Chain A
Amino acid sequence: MKLYCLSGHPTLPCNVLKFKSTTIMLDCALDTTSVLNYLPLPLVHSPRLSKLPGWISKDGTINLEKELKECAGRLFVDSQPEFCLPEKELLDLSTIDVILISNYHCMMALPYITEHTGFTGTVYATEPTLQIGRLLMEELVKFMERVPKAQSATCWKNKEIQRMLPGPLKDAVEVWTWKRCYSMQEVNSALSKVQLVGYSQKVELFGAVQISPLSSGYSLGSSNWIIQSHHEKVSYVSGSSLLTTHPQPMDQSSLKNSDVLILTGLTQMPTANPDGMLGEFCSNLAMTIRAGGNVLVPCYSSGVIYDLLECLYQFIDSANLGTTPFYFISPVANSSLEFSQIFAEWLCHNKQTKVYLPEPPFPHAELIQTNKLKHYPSIHGDFSSDFKQPCVVFTGHPSLRFGDVVHFMELWGKSNLNTIIFTEPDFSYLDALAPYQPLAMKCVYCPIDTRLNFHQVSKLLKEVQPLHVVCPDQYTQPPPSQSHRSDLMLELQPPPMPYRRCSVLNLPFRRCYERVYILPELANSLVPSELKPGVSVANVSAILHSKDNKHTLQVTAPAPPSKKRKRVVEEPPVGGAPKPLLSGAVPLEPFLATLQKHGITEVKVEETTDGHILHLQAEDTLIQLEEDGTHIVCDNNEPLR
């Protein structure tokens, strides 16, 4: 059993497991942090961005004026932003049988994998994961297509040139694998390969292994996966949460007895407490509004935003924000809000009970009904006429490089009355803000990451007791910025097996047994004999049928020609029935008695070093009895044989 690691990002995993002749891809997340190296894509022409100076190397030999722009001392690529894809060269992606998706954030690279690689398999995901994943992909595509950029910068990627560049660009890795965004057509084609599954549903793959998603408690429809055969069990834990937010709680007990547990997607903010952050979010928001400023919340269109809105729903009246407009701007804002209300089965208990009443599970329905929350597909159209300040705007993309958020950065960045509150943990906020510097706007960083922290995970692992743990390299040492915090790493016995991008791990597995089914006819014909209390043996001679990786044993067609006659005469009392395997030694006395019973009386017994020789005089037959063998020598005497 092998694990191929195609992504080095601990929360954006993409691994391939080879297990019992099946090839299973576990998640295919897209590393979008690469877009931080690019200039923002403004929705309306931005004189500031267009006037940025181009870059020429100090000695003047390299001129990349068109591709690279300088802003506040940092270089940015002026091009359609590109994403860092999972590794495609480590193994032939067309051999992948299935892709298992754990949550909607971990499927964004799907079109890159399923299209153009010869992939012919099936993708498994839960219904919310598929629907919301589709929305997030659609949003990404729309963000990109809305501001088409003809230029695709490639010169800077040249190894020789990249070496000369300053700052983060110089250290960017795998730049040649970076790709532009896919098209909606590719998204649709990729998603048409998805097969829906429910929690704890057991799906057979080629009869060889069984896969089953379990609730992971992180987002709507998010799942961990169990991949098992009759004797081996691999758990894939990705993005799990033990906090009570909106999704169904995590199913922990089903992870027990794993031979290998692959652990990814722990919190990216191990020191930030989500509840505390939520409080800080609300107080900063209220403070800014009271002072007459606007609040910008860059966020994804699904996920934490539901919790933020729920928190605000309770907070609005007490904080006197009843008249402040809340705007949610995204091409998929409406769909995301609507979809969140129809997945009762996938929600936590409290929300399920609301549906039984019947009431919408999320209170943002009421915020919309009372006109406190309004949603728009973009800043163009209705929004521009409804827009009132001061207000709160939720919009994407959290990288601040594309989407409607770019417009608000340009609009509000120059006033220190306004505040931007970062809640998504995926991007470093300083890097995100870099192309907008100098900035007067206040910045508040309240990353809300509900995924497992190190304390929770070690408790979980103690409980479920996997034999081996595999995890990203990053989890085996404290974060570089807090190298003294030994509590911010995984310490296990035996130590976890770390992986990085392009690692190929041999998982410590010894398969010994496989399941066969003995058909009832055969089972009835078996004659077990008890060797010692509780241990019985029976010999099996049968025809093995193997079909679709299922093995059955059937009775052999005709019974073997009668051997009975001979046995009656000479069979030593080792076993009654015909038995191709004999064991133990033949005791002399009972044997003689048996012979006598069959009318053979003239027996001459001779002692030898390791047994006896019996001479049956009348029949002219010699029988050598030894510790581990019996040899019968006779004439060509038909009846006796």
Chain B
Amino acid sequence: MPEIKVTPLGAGQDVGRSCILVSIGGKNIMLDCGMHMGYNDDRRFPDFSYITQNGRLTDFLDCVIISHFHLDHCGALPYMSEMVGYDGPIYMTHPTKAICPILLEDFRKITVDKKGETNFFTSQMIKDCMKKVVPLNLHQTVQVDDELELKAYYAGHVLGAAMVLIKVGSESVVYTGDYNMTPDRHLGAAWIDKCRPDILISESTYATTIRDSKRCRERDFLKKVHESIERGGKVLIPVFALGRAQELCILLETFWERMNLKAPIYFSTGLTEKANHYYKLFITWTNQKIRKTFVQRNMFEFKHIKAFDRSYADNPGPMVVFATPGMLHAGQSLQIFKKWAGNEKNMVIMPGYCVQGTIGHKILNGQRKLEMEGRSTLDVKLQVEYMSFSAHADAKGIMQLIRMAEPRNMLLVHGEALKMEFLKGKIEQEFNIDCYMPANGETITVSTNPSVPVDISLNLLKREMALGGPLPDPKKPRTMHGTLIMKENVSLVSSEQALKELGLNEHQLRFTCRVQLQDPHSDLDTLHRIYTHLKSLLKGYTIQHVPDGTVMVESIVIKVSSSAEDPNNKVLLLSWSYQVEYSIITTIIPAMLNYLMSSPT
């Protein structure tokens, strides 16, 4: 029986370094190839030696698919393709293809130039890796080879995020990447059609959360920022350059405009300008409203938000600063945080999920004393606020997607084991399907049961459909007979046609049964009595009295003859062909005999 195998190399009961291997219909596919934010050693990248111990991966993978540009989904890509070795196609959407190399280069700079690591991928490797990328358009059916096809759906998580349907024959898997089921200020909601995959591999970052309405969260956020500004505090919002940053910028920009606020908003330089430019050029990937109005007013041209310079951090007075990266694990956001942490008037708002091990994660867990590099400690006095603005589906959203796609099996990745456990129970209960949550390196095998497509001759089909009446009647199924001819292709034709095609003669098999009985009537009378009796007995069958002295029950022929010596001694001949349902005959004969024998002479 055909099987689909799924093995996470990363993101199995974990968030970070997403990398999932799928074997389907003899094809091997790698879904995402990310890095882990919480580690700085080997565990940073997925363990590709699982695929092969020695040599390149090209022979073992048919394709690699990257769902979106976040580093925990694409950060290991140049390492995998250039340092481990993979030359096959890498699929991603246009915006991902555009933005991914920039984030990779940024990642490389921080790791190599700032931290001084060696044995890391180079700028040239990023370029070489991107040359292997084949762009995917939404809803386009991409044929990787003759059998393997891909189709991307809008996922809404960040610009260019996609869910992918992977199909081989009638078997299929959907991988969601990260997705968001509620539209926000700049992106639309994820959508998929009822594709009924064998397995739906879904992220489950917010497996147990059901978020309150977005309105409330936004109002809360604005209120907190506003209060802090009012009392002269500085607000730090650590973000990743692309994604939530734009969402929050739009939010603050409109708020500043409405409230006529004067406090400066800064965006840490570098990627900002460029990032906003991507949003302008890929405006078709944003939400309906922005797309509709972009000619008149482009939402990504901000009036109130200015570029940040390092020296501004020491300026007196209130300000709001967006700084990268988002989990306070390095870079500018961390520097500003260190500067501002000692003042309780200040505030840091964490707008998204923080991976274990990062400073962001620590302060969110209430840690007030942080050990910094070089044995120093940092007292955290400023207010720490958490606001879930990261665009992941919550439990409700995940259930909604399951309802949309109607998968036969469910598989959770990209989440914490405990939370997954809870969601798994809910899914199994509500949808009555199996739900898996493999750990890294653990393989899940799901057997599929595909139907066999064959070609039916139109004559046969039309004849059958005509016999079935104008409307199909589910209560009265009809049995169709045909012959399957298996040559290079498989076709189903009527038996007659099959014989003709194969050059064979039909062989008739007939049975005739002689029944002896005593009956004083004339042959014709006997026959007529049989006829009327059968007619009353066998309702729903065609019974005919043919003038040449036979009675036909469907195709069964009944004849009566009497012996020359004794006219009362009659011989009943029943003749039927092999195709006839035997049950009719076993009904007819005893019924007839009983009748004739018992009837008054």
Given A355-B98, A517-B453, A518-B454, A636 contacting B505 (CB threshold 8 A) = no
Residues on A with beta carbons closer than 8 Å to the beta carbon of B457: 512-514
Tell me, in angstroms, the Cα distance from A531 to B516 when the chains sit together.
Answer: 43
Tell me, in angstroms, the Cα distance from A396 to B487 when the chains sit together.
Answer: 62
Given A516-B456, A520-B452, A628-B506, A528 contacting B484 (CB threshold 8 A) = yes
Tell me, in angstroms, the Cα distance from A560 to B479 when the chains sit together.
Answer: 11
CB nearest to B449 among chain A residues: A520
Please tell me which one of the listed residues B488, B505, B579 contacts residue A580 in the complex, with CB atoms under 8 A apart: B579
Tell me, in angstroms, the Cα distance from A627 to B453 when the chains sit together.
Answer: 36
Instruction: Count how many chain B residues have C-beta atoms less than 8 Å from C-beta atoms of the other chain.
Output: 74
Q: Give a binary string over A344-363; 1 marks a CB under 8 Å from any B CB, 0 the rest.
A: 11000000100110101100
Does B486 belong to the interface (CB within 8 Å)? Answer: yes
Given A341-B281, A345-B94, A537-B484, A543 contacting B506 (CB threshold 8 A) = no
Does B464 belong to the interface (CB within 8 Å)? Answer: yes
Return A116 CB to nearest CB of chain B, in Å: 27
Please tell me which one of the listed residues B294, B449, B511 contacts residue A342 in the complex, with CB atoms under 8 A apart: B294
Tell me, in angstroms, the Cα distance from A560 to B468 when the chains sit together.
Answer: 20
Residues on B with beta carbons closer than 8 Å to the beta carbon of A586: 507
Residues on B with beta carbons closer than 8 Å to the beta carbon of A59: none
Q: Give a binary string over B451-493; 1 marks a CB under 8 Å from any A CB, 0 the rest.
A: 1111111100100110010001000011111111111100110
Tell me, in angstroms, the Cα distance from A264 to B216 when the chains sit together.
Answer: 56
Tell me, in angstroms, the Cα distance from A361 to B483 when the chains sit together.
Answer: 59
User: Total A-B pairs in contact (CB under 8 Å)?
Assistant: 232
Q: Give a binary string over B139-181; 1 marks a CB under 8 Å from any A CB, 0 the rest.
A: 1111000000001000000000000000000000000000000
Does A515 belong to the interface (CB within 8 Å)? Answer: yes
B507 x A634 contact (CB < 8 A): no
Please tell me which one of the listed residues A537, A543, A636 contacts residue B479 in the complex, with CB atoms under 8 A apart: A543
CB nearest to B465 among chain A residues: A546
Given A627-B505, A630-B510, A545 contacting B137 (CB threshold 8 A) = no
A345 x B456 contact (CB < 8 A): no
Residues on A with beta carbons closer than 8 Å to the beta carbon of B502: 531, 535, 537, 583
Does B509 belong to the interface (CB within 8 Å)? Answer: yes
Does B135 belong to the interface (CB within 8 Å)? Answer: yes
Does B289 belong to the interface (CB within 8 Å)? Answer: no
Taking CB atoms and an 8 Å cut-off, the chain A residues in 274-323 that contact chain B are none
Does A635 belong to the interface (CB within 8 Å)? Answer: yes
Does B244 belong to the interface (CB within 8 Å)? Answer: no
Does B50 belong to the interface (CB within 8 Å)? Answer: no
Return A585 CB to nearest CB of chain B, in Å: 7
A534 x B487 contact (CB < 8 A): yes
Q: Give a binary string over A235-269; 1 marks a CB under 8 Å from any B CB, 0 the rest.
A: 00000000000000000000000000000000000
Given A345-B94, A358-B98, A201 contacting B141 (CB threshold 8 A) = yes
Tell me, in angstroms, the Cα distance from A345 to B98 when the chains sit together.
Answer: 11
Does B274 belong to the interface (CB within 8 Å)? Answer: yes
Does A197 belong to the interface (CB within 8 Å)? Answer: yes
Tell me, in angstroms, the Cα distance from A627 to B504 when the chains sit together.
Answer: 12
Tell me, in angstroms, the Cα distance from A560 to B580 when the chains sit together.
Answer: 12
Please tell me which one of the listed residues B97, B138, B479, B483 contacts residue A556 in the complex, with CB atoms under 8 A apart: B479
Does A541 belong to the interface (CB within 8 Å)? Answer: yes
Does A462 belong to the interface (CB within 8 Å)? Answer: no
Given A355-B94, A561-B582, A584-B507, A635 contacting B282 (CB threshold 8 A) = no
Task: Kindly specify which of A332-340, A383-391, A417-425 makes contact with the partner chain.
Answer: A332-340
Tell me, in angstroms, the Cα distance from A584 to B487 when the chains sit together.
Answer: 20
Residues on B with beta carbons closer than 8 Å to the beta carbon of A543: 477-480
CB nearest to B284 among chain A residues: A342
Tell me, in angstroms, the Cα distance from A526 to B452 when the chains sit together.
Answer: 12
Please tell me which one of the listed residues A200, A358, A541 contacts residue B278 in the complex, with CB atoms under 8 A apart: A358
Looking at B277, B492, B508, B516, the one whose CB has the most chain A CB atoms below 10 A away is B492
Does B548 belong to the interface (CB within 8 Å)? Answer: no
Does A161 belong to the interface (CB within 8 Å)? Answer: no
Return A498 CB to nearest CB of chain B, in Å: 29
B458 x A630 contact (CB < 8 A): no
A539 x B495 contact (CB < 8 A): yes
CB nearest to B495 among chain A residues: A581
A560 x B581 contact (CB < 8 A): yes
Residues on A with beta carbons closer than 8 Å to the beta carbon of B97: 356
B140 x A344 contact (CB < 8 A): no
A552 x B451 contact (CB < 8 A): yes
Does A58 belong to the interface (CB within 8 Å)? Answer: no
Residues on A with beta carbons closer than 8 Å to the beta carbon of B511: 631-634, 641
Does B450 belong to the interface (CB within 8 Å)? Answer: yes
A518 x B452 contact (CB < 8 A): yes
Tell me, in angstroms, the Cα distance from A321 to B137 when the chains sit together.
Answer: 40
Does B433 belong to the interface (CB within 8 Å)? Answer: no
A633 x B452 contact (CB < 8 A): no
B506 x A557 contact (CB < 8 A): no
CB nearest to B130 among chain A residues: A356
A344 x B282 contact (CB < 8 A): yes
Residues on B with beta carbons closer than 8 Å to the beta carbon of A523: 451-452
Residues on A with beta carbons closer than 8 Å to the beta carbon of B509: 572, 582, 629-632
A335 x B295 contact (CB < 8 A): yes
Does A343 belong to the interface (CB within 8 Å)? Answer: yes
Tell me, in angstroms, the Cα distance from A246 to B142 when the chains sit together.
Answer: 22
Tell me, in angstroms, the Cα distance from A561 to B461 when the chains sit together.
Answer: 27
Tell me, in angstroms, the Cα distance from A205 to B487 when the chains sit together.
Answer: 30
Does A563 belong to the interface (CB within 8 Å)? Answer: yes
Tell me, in angstroms, the Cα distance from A162 to B286 when the chains sit together.
Answer: 55
CB nearest to A530 among chain B residues: B486
Q: Give a binary string over A575-613; 1 marks a CB under 8 Å from any B CB, 0 the rest.
A: 000001111111000000000000000000000000000
B512 x A633 contact (CB < 8 A): yes
A198 x B137 contact (CB < 8 A): yes
B282 x A629 contact (CB < 8 A): no
Tell me, in angstroms, the Cα distance from A561 to B584 when the chains sit together.
Answer: 11
Does B378 belong to the interface (CB within 8 Å)? Answer: no
Return B149 CB to nearest CB of chain A, in Å: 9
Q: A-B pairs with the 5 shortest C-beta distances?
A: A629-B508, A517-B451, A513-B455, A582-B507, A356-B98
Q: List 22 A-B contacts (CB under 8 A).
A: A199-B140, A200-B137, A342-B282, A361-B281, A517-B451, A518-B453, A531-B504, A540-B480, A540-B484, A542-B479, A544-B468, A546-B465, A553-B492, A556-B479, A580-B578, A584-B504, A632-B512, A633-B513, A635-B514, A635-B516, A636-B513, A636-B515
Binding site for A on B (CB under 8 A): 94, 97-98, 101, 135, 137-142, 151, 274, 277-278, 280-284, 294-295, 449-458, 461, 464-465, 468, 472, 477-488, 491-492, 495, 498-499, 502, 504-516, 578-579, 581-583, 589
Binding site for B on A (CB under 8 A): 127, 197-202, 212, 230-231, 334-335, 338-339, 341-345, 352, 355-356, 358, 360-361, 511-520, 523, 526, 528, 531, 534-547, 551-553, 556-557, 560-561, 563, 566, 572, 574, 580-586, 627-636, 641
Q: A230-B455, A342-B284, A561-B582 are in contact. List 9 more A-B contacts (CB 8 A).
A: A520-B450, A526-B484, A540-B481, A540-B483, A544-B480, A546-B472, A582-B578, A583-B504, A632-B512
